[in-house]
Amino acid sequence: MTRRQWLGFLSSLGFASAAAHAAPTAAGTPALPRLEPLLLTDAQWRQRLTPAQYRVLREEGTERAGSSSLNAEKRKGSFHCAGCDLPLFSSNTKYESGTGWPSFFDTLPGVFKTKRDFVIGYPRTEYSCARCGGHHGHVFNDGPKPTGLRYCNNGVALKFVPEAA
């Protein structure tokens, strides 16, 4: 198990524990479901993912802007993690940010972990899948209302699942 996998596992345990014990909100929303971490060996990840997905999800890479077919996806449905199939975003939260990456102003509850990232010299907030630890992108404070957030996601890290007709 790599250091990244071990840290992801420990983070997932903390998240899962907190989520499993979360109290319902005032509106009566039920507690978040417990997410069992998906822990695979490097060889298993390489077998499961395409080389481009592996580079982004497991090595925290970034795909070229404008390269994802999901930029133009307008159908109703949900966007899932390409690594573990966890639903992450509703199509109702997707918008055109003009950045060249699929962008969303909100996530489904409890699906991401975040950390500070200084890779390009200034601080950013990286987010990754709470189940498999796969890197998805960065969140910025320049998005539309109602959240004001822009989840700038690598399209290759996502899988679109259309709404059933």
Q: Catalytic residue numbers? A: 152
Q: Residue 164, CB half-sphere, CA atoms under 13 Å: how many? A: 0
What would the two tokens of residue 19 be? 């989520």
Strands 124-129 and 112-117, how do they pair? antiparallel
Q: 19 by DSSP, 3-state: which?
A: helix
Report DSSP letters for 101-125, one per residue.
S-EES---TT-EEEEEE-TTSS-EE
The secondary structure element, H or E, covering residue 87 is: strand 87-90
Give dist(CA 27, CA 42) in Å, integer.
Answer: 42
Give dist(CA 89, CA 14) in Å, integer.
Answer: 22
Is-contact 126 115, C-beta < 8 A?
yes
